[in-house]
Amino acid sequence: MYHLTEETDEDWWDVEALYDLCFAPGREALSSYRLRDGVAPVARLSLVARDDAGILAGAIRYWPVSIVGDHEAHDALLLGPVAVHPTRQGEGLGGHLIRESLLVAQDLGMERVMLVGDAPYYSRFGFSKLRDVEMPPPTNPDRVLAYRLQNGTWDGVTGKVMRITSAPDGPA
Ligand SMILES: CC(C)(COP(=O)(O)OP(=O)(O)OC[C@H]1O[C@@H](n2cnc3c(N)ncnc32)[C@H](O)[C@@H]1OP(=O)(O)O)[C@@H](O)C(=O)NCCC(=O)NCCS
């Protein structure tokens, strides 16, 4: 039995340790991390899953980003990292974290989510390839995926994904 709660300051280093365990060394060198530098995650969507003993089993974070086109800019949420402890994988926890956080984002009236990840995994949640939106290089465009939280919210959104310094829904 896992308990999902919003991540607090006390959770931060536990979550960092989990990510270090679950991802290849040097994860912070990835270009997507340049969008996170010095920016707070979106608190209401960044969740931790602990078991009955309080042990961290999984975590998900989101960051606010801006997609800047020639004539206009659009806010978006960058999903990730999401990770589940290797001893707890395959139990549905990753899916639970993703679905729950997407529901919260939808309820909050947020519009669009993107990520860099494996399409075979994220397609089961409704993510599909995002065209005409450019992540900082080097990023494989086939791994740039989108999810719409409200009808039509990706329509006409094009441009480069840029770092911003405040959450789309206010201070995180
Ligand atoms: C990806 C991750 C979060 C999934 O968590 P989980 O709790 O194991 O996921 P679930 O139990 O909800 O789903 C498991 C299913 O996803 C599939 N899956 C997991 N990772 C996958 C991937 N990269 N590509 C395709 N399918 C994947 C499993 O094969 C399994 O398939 P099944 O339902 O057909 O048996 C977890 O494996 C993890 O932490 N991986 C390392 C970190 C990582 O890669 N994070 C995602 C990138 S940001």
Predicted pLDDT at 63: 98
Asked if pLDDT for residue 27 goes beyond 60, the answer is: yes
Q: What is the pLDDT of residues 140-151, one digit of tens each?
A: 999 999 999 999
Tell me if the pTM is above 0.85: yes
Which DSSP string corresponds to 39-58?
Answer: ----TTT-EEEE-TT--EEE
Determine the distance separating the centroid of ligand 1 and the alpha carbon of 94, expressed in angstroms: 7
Pair of tokens at residue 145: 């995926």
Say if residue 79 is exposed, middle or buried (CB neighbours under 10 Å; 0-12, 13-18, 19+): buried
CA angle 21, 85, 76 (to 5 degrees): 85
Q: How far apart are the first and last CA of the chain?
A: 28
pLDDT for the residue numbered 170? 45
Residue nearest atom 35 in ligand 1 by C-alpha distance: 90
Nearest CA to ligand 1 atom 38: 83
* pLDDT tens digits, one per residue of 57-115: 999 999 999 999 999 999 999 999 999 999 999 999 999 999 999 999 999 999 999 99
Minimal-distance CA residue to ligand 1 atom 7: 94
